[in-house]
Amino acid sequence: MKFEIGNFNVKDVVFGDKTKFENNILTINKQEAIEFIKRDEHITECDIEIAKPGDEVRIVPIKEAVEPRIRPDKRAVFPSITGELVPTGEGRVHALKGVSVLGVGMHWGSFGDGLLDMSGEGANYSYFSQLINVCLVIDTDEEFERHEQQKKNHAIRWACHLFAEYLGETVIDQQPEEIEKYEFTPVTRRSDEVNKLPSVVLVMQPQSQMEELGYNDLIYGWDMNKYLPTFMSPTEVLDGCIIGGSFMPCSSKWATYDFQNFPIIKELFKEHGKSINFLGVIMSNLNVSLEQKERAAIFVSNMAKSLGADGAIVTEEGYGNPDADYVRCICALEDVGVKVVGISNECTGRDGKSQPLVVMNEKTDALVSTGNVSQLIRLKPMKKVIGELEALARDGLSGGWAGDEILGPSVKEDGSVIMENNAMFCGDQIAGWSRKTMKEY
């Protein structure tokens, strides 16, 4: 499978008379864009704001992030979401780099939503502070879930994907500045030189715990709660076959933007044919019952063994209950002779002294931590808030609270914030963006 990403580097995003990309500047006709977004009858209010690196801006509650893209052949960028169900992983897609579309609640937040600062100390906690963020600030008529802690946020999330294509159309006929090329050769058609290298498979565990449909990550439009582990080309992942869901504490989340640019996949491609033989992706899931978790681990280990994997990287979207899937999968792989490195965040409590994973096993002896979800973060006030800051404390965001007998409310009267890392938008970057390091004392 041959796949290309044609990159257009965005140096600035501004509002203007016409939506276009010219001289590395993305211009948006705001009124026309709002009219496009409000074609969804469930969207009752909409505004668009632009947040740039260094701005004294705080954004909350954020529900989704998507990279603007378009296919020159006009197929859907997100099959079964923005258009017909078609294969991904081959051909070319054009991408506007350095920019993301953020879906932001105008008033209401939920358990899986997050916060992002564009400057100051808070900017160090999320990769998205380095991007120009086109914020779709939206309210909807989804009253049935307004006062629920967990929301599907369907209208806002779908608006992000549709608007990402809308912006991508500005470069549909242009020539990209650079082209990323990926070729995924069938595992039985590789050269002797490649086959002599240590063979590595990537095992991904997207969020799929919610038995009620509509909260989980989707693959080709299919709710991953109803999914079984499958072998895939890594180019499919980079090419829009998966979109993020609404469930999972936000620091642990993989947004759609993460799937589109999954750093671990890109790094494995760089090393393919040099230091490793990158076999591909085993796309697994995160389950509810212990039997489901065991079944998935059996599928994964059997596939890895059949592929002849020497090693595997296992990475989970989440923590807590998903740790059982994560650790069981690692152990099952080790049991069939596949050496594993695991990548996840951990929940060691505010004092950092608790057990990092819900389930531990002596076979999990090579783990990479991307951060502690319970770490307390204190942030100074910002000049401007996009969305509604009160949502952090009021609406059950996983890292915020209305009151604490010691710490008080998350949101202070002066606009400053105390919260757990849990609520930082994609803050632990388990996809591989993390800037965090370990320190010894």
Question: Coil, strand, or helix at residue 169?
Answer: helix
Given a contact cutoff of 8 angstroms between Cβ atoms, the answer to whether 141 and 110 are in contact is no
pLDDT at 55 over 90: yes
- Classify burial at 145, counting beta carbons within 10 Å of its beta carbon; exposed 0-12, middle 13-18, buried 19 or more: middle
Is the pLDDT at 146 greater than 90? The verdict is no
Q: Which of 100, 101, 103, 75 lies closest to 89, judged by CA? A: 75
pLDDT at residue 214 above 80?
A: yes
What integer is the mean pLDDT of 3-28? 98
The per-residue pLDDT for 438 is 72
Residue 427's pLDDT is what? 95
Domain boundaries, the chain: 2-423
Per-residue pLDDT reduced to its tens digit, 78-128: 999 999 999 999 999 999 999 999 999 999 999 999 999 999 999 999 999
Q: Helical H runs in 261-343? A: 263-271, 290-307, 321-335
Question: Which regions of 37-83 does DSSP assign to beta strands (E)?
Answer: 43-51, 57-66, 69-70
Q: Are 401 and 109 in contact (CB under 8 A)?
A: no
Mean pLDDT of 390-417: 96
Give the pLDDT score at 434.
80
Q: How many CB atoms lie within 10 A of CB 369?
A: 18
Q: What is the CA radius of gyration of the chain?
A: 21
- pLDDT given at position 436: 79
Q: How many Å apart are CA 315 and CA 327, to the nearest integer? A: 10
Helix (H, G, I), strand (E, B) or coil at 228: coil
What is the Cα–Cα distance from 330 to 322, expressed in whole angstroms? Answer: 12
- Is the peptide bond between 61 and the residue preceding it cis, with omega within 30 degrees of 0? yes
- CA–chain centroid gap for 273, Å, is 28
Mean pLDDT of the chain: 96
Mean pLDDT (whole number) for 231-246: 98
Look at residue 441 and tell me whether its pLDDT is greater than 80: no
Q: Which of 318, 330, 250 is nearest to 287 (CA)?
A: 318
Predicted local confidence at residue 418, as pLDDT: 98
Asked whether the beta carbons of 123 and 113 are under 8 A apart, the reply is no
Cα 129 to Cα 54: distance, rounded to the nearest angstrom? 8
- Residues facing residue 299 across a β-bridge: none
Calculate mean pLDDT across residues 417-433: 95
Contact between residue 239 and residue 101 where contact means Cβ atoms under 8 Å apart: no
Q: What is the mean pLDDT of residues 55-71?
A: 98
pLDDT tens-digit series, residues 161-210:
999 999 999 999 999 999 999 999 999 999 999 999 999 999 999 999 99
Residue 188 CB neighbour total at 10 angstroms: 6
pLDDT at 143: 86
- The Cα–Cα gap between 414 and 138 comes to 25
What is the longest distance spanned by two Cα atoms in the chain? 66
286 pLDDT exceeds 90?
yes
pLDDT single digits (tens) 289-309: 999 999 999 999 999 999 999
Beta carbons of 3 and 265 less than 8 angstroms apart: no
Angle subtended by helix axes 321-335 and 290-307, to nearest 10:
40
Q: Are 215 and 206 in contact (CB under 8 A)?
A: no
Give CA separation, 392 vs 52, 146, 190, 371, in Å.
Answer: 22, 15, 51, 21
CA distance 21 to 96: 9
Find where tokens 């002797």 sit: 192
- How many CA atoms lie less than 13 Å away from 244 in the CB half-sphere? 36
Amino acid at 162: L
Q: What is the pLDDT of residues 320-358, one digit of tens each?
A: 999 999 999 999 999 999 999 999 999 999 998 999 999
Structure confidence at residue 144 as a pLDDT band (50, 70, 90): confident
Task: List the alpha helices (DSSP H) in 308-434.
Answer: 321-335, 391-394
Q: 296 near 325, Cβ under 8 Å?
A: yes
From residue 271, how far is each of 23, 162, 266 by CA, in Å? 34, 34, 9
Residue 435 binned pLDDT confidence (cut-offs 50, 70, 90): confident
Distance CA 195, CA 203 (A): 20
- Tokens 């592929």 — which residue? 307
CB–CB of 45/58 below 8 Å? no
Looking at residue 147, what is its pLDDT? 81
Q: Which residue in this structure is represented by tokens 């990092």?
A: 356
Residue pair 400/373 in contact by the 8 Å Cβ criterion: no
Distance between CA 182 and CA 180 in Å, rounded?
A: 7
